[in-house]
Amino acid sequence: MSGHGPAIPMTARKSGPLAGVAEVPGDKSISHRALILGALSVGETRITGLLEGQDVLDTASAMRAFGAEVTQHGPGDWTVQGVGVGGFAEPDRVIDCGNSGTGVRLIMGAMATTDLTATFTGDASLVKRPMGRVTDPLALFGARAYGREGGRLPMTVVGAAQPVPVRYTLPMPSAQVKSAVLLAGLNAPGQTVVVEPEPTRDHTERMLRGFGAELTVDDTDEGRVITLTGQPELTGQSVAVPRDPSSAAFPVCAALMVQDSNILVPGVSQNPTRNGIFLTLQDMGADLVMENPREEGGEPVADLRVRFGPLKGIAVPPERAASMIDEYPILAALAATAEGVTVMAGIKELRVKESDRIDAMARGLEACGVRVEETEDSLTVYGMAQVPGGATVESRLDHRIAMAFLCLGMVSRDPITVDDASPIATSFPVFEPLMTGLGARIERV
């Protein structure tokens, strides 16, 4: 869906206490991977709790284009009839990954060691994002990529007819790059090794094992060394997708900001490679309790009980960045309402997300009357007792920028309008009814 529909401006205004149960949708990262690994398996994969956001729907249609049968049976309930490792067919159309960096990068990896050619594109945000970070390691397997200057989409990838295994050290902390290399390694003979100096989300490793691959992880002085034995027979599985901690962060932070709020967000993944935001909120003094911790679908989950209370600014440990990389926009909004200064450092990867998120948050917060300081890889936010608001903020085709400012508008003195909230549908299609159901005053204008 590279075509972008009409803009949907939305306004958030000062809201009463948020209360109730917030059932956020399934995890986006796990949803993409369930579809892709299902397509690379033999037999049927049944997925429950699949996120039906546009990013994931685009990956589902891409898997169909590569020959898998992907069927929706009911809300969140899907099956994939896979074609097996190395079994992808050559697509007869351009693969359009819409807004999704995860979709395009993982699918490029998954096809790069099969003897076929595919052309990829995406929306106005995705075509600006760097693909060289995946096509460089994929070239080591023998794949070739032809794209626009700077390694941008649209891009054609010619898969390696005789792939060789690879040893690759990640030059940046990126689960997408790691996953692309591991998925390419599936159809290479021998062992593919990825070294990750800084740990990133490990869903690909967990799920590859779950689907029957031989994969080991060793913690060494170099970092996490992941070794995958190529050409396994993956077999279809049942995947229960836990609720997305990155989506949960929005109602959680909104409840922490809006006076007298008290909400429950059940069944949220607490995977240690994803839970940095919750640790950070607790460091800021949040009344946030993980109730009923348990395991679901191979991931640790808990019910989050969140109560409003005063927060203080902190220096967020930079080594935590990878485990909360998608949560900096909402954290920056929350920091504007905390007492004191919040320093977020070691976050230069935010510059190459759906938008340049450091710039998008800095400009948006300034427009709302908040003092910020920015460097190439950090953002500092000065908290204030009352955020003035009263601005229209650009979402820049970025779902998380849109949601962050709508949450801030629930506590600012004057309403905050987001120029286009339509990108929210990529990851959190029920954001609007879910938040209004809790008592948020957000509406289309």
Stretch that binds ligand S3P, among 174-182, 273-281, 303-311, 372-380 (CB under 6 A): 174-182
Contact status: 325 vs ligand S3P (CB under 6 A) = yes
326 as an active site residue: the answer is yes
Give me the phi and psi of 364, to 5 degrees please: -65, -40
Query: Least separation, in Å, of the C-beta of 280 and ligand S3P?
Result: 16
Q: How far is CA 17 from the centre of its chain?
A: 28
Binding-site member from 175, 321, 333, 442 for ligand S3P (CB under 6 A): 175
Count, residues near ligand S3P per rule CB under 6 A: 10
Q: What is the DSSP letter of 26?
A: B
Stretch that binds ligand S3P, among 173-181, 249-257, 278-286, 304-312 (CB under 6 A): 173-181
Query: Least separation, in Å, of the C-beta of 178 and ligand S3P?
Result: 7
Query: Least separation, in Å, of the C-beta of 71 and ligand S3P?
Result: 23
Alpha carbon dihedral 426, 428, 430, 432, in 10-degree steps, equals -100
Stretch that binds ligand S3P, among 35-43, 116-124, 172-180, 231-239 (CB under 6 A): 172-180
- Measured from the CB atom, the residue of 134 and 306 that comes closer to ligand S3P is 134
CB atoms within 10 A of CB 68: 24
Measured CA distances, 22 to 163, 252, 254, 336, 435 (Å): 46, 9, 12, 24, 8
Query: Least separation, in Å, of the C-beta of 352 and ligand S3P?
Result: 7
Question: Please, are residues 82 and 41 in contact by the beta-carbon 8 Å criterion?
Answer: yes
CB atoms within 10 A of CB 111: 27
Q: Tell me the three-class secondary structure of 128-157, residue by residue.
A: HCCCHHHHHHHHHHCCEEEEECCCEEEEEE
Q: Write out the binding residues for ligand S3P, residues 387-406 only, by CB under 6 A.
A: none
Three-state DSSP class for 443? strand
Q: At CA 243, angle to CA 240 and CA 247, rounded to 5? A: 150
- Measured from the CB atom, the residue of 102 and 237 that comes closer to ligand S3P is 102
- Measured from the CB atom, the residue of 380 and 426 that comes closer to ligand S3P is 426
CB atoms within 10 A of CB 121: 17
How far apart (Å, rounded) are the C-alpha atoms in residues 196 and 194? 6
Query: Least separation, in Å, of the C-beta of 429 and ligand S3P?
Result: 16
Contact status: 60 vs ligand S3P (CB under 6 A) = no
Binding-site member from 31, 54, 102, 125 for ligand S3P (CB under 6 A): 102
Binding-site member from 15, 31, 176, 270 for ligand S3P (CB under 6 A): 176
Query: Least separation, in Å, of the C-beta of 291 and ligand S3P?
Result: 26
Stretch that binds ligand S3P, among 161-169, 171-179, 182-190, 276-284 (CB under 6 A): 171-179
- Can you say whether residue 102 is alpha, beta or left, with left for phi > 0 and alpha for psi between -120 and 50 degrees? alpha
- Measured from the CB atom, the residue of 55 and 96 that comes closer to ligand S3P is 55
Contacting residues for 204 by C-beta, under 8 A, at least 6 apart: 33, 175, 178, 179, 182, 183
How far apart (Å, rounded) are the C-alpha atoms in residues 295 and 313? 32
Stretch that binds ligand S3P, among 170-178, 289-297, 302-310, 389-397 (CB under 6 A): 170-178
Q: What is the DSSP string of 197-240?
A: SS----HHHHHHHHTT--EEEEEETTEEEEEEESS---B--EEE
Over the range 165-190, which residues count as b (16 or more CB within 10 Å of their CB) and which as e?
A: bbebebeebbbbbbbbbbbbbbbbee
Contact status: 29 vs ligand S3P (CB under 6 A) = yes
- Measured from the CB atom, the residue of 186 and 440 that comes closer to ligand S3P is 186
- Measured from the CB atom, the residue of 172 and 430 that comes closer to ligand S3P is 172
Looking at 96, 123, 326, 420, which residue is catalytic?
Answer: 326
Q: Write out the binding residues for ligand S3P, residues 247-286 only, by CB under 6 A.
A: none
How far apart (Å, rounded) are the C-alpha atoms in residues 199 and 320? 10
Contact status: 196 vs ligand S3P (CB under 6 A) = no
How far apart (Å, rounded) are the C-alpha atoms in residues 243 and 265? 9
Contact pattern for ligand S3P over residues 353 through 372, marking x by CB under 6 A: --------------------
Of 256, 85, 227, 221, the closest CA to residue 168 belongs to 227
Binding-site member from 58, 244, 299, 326 for ligand S3P (CB under 6 A): 326
Query: Least separation, in Å, of the C-beta of 29 and ligand S3P?
Result: 3
Contact status: 125 vs ligand S3P (CB under 6 A) = no
Contact status: 24 vs ligand S3P (CB under 6 A) = no
Active site members: 326
Binding site for ligand S3P (CB under 6 A): 29, 102, 174-176, 179, 201, 325-326, 349
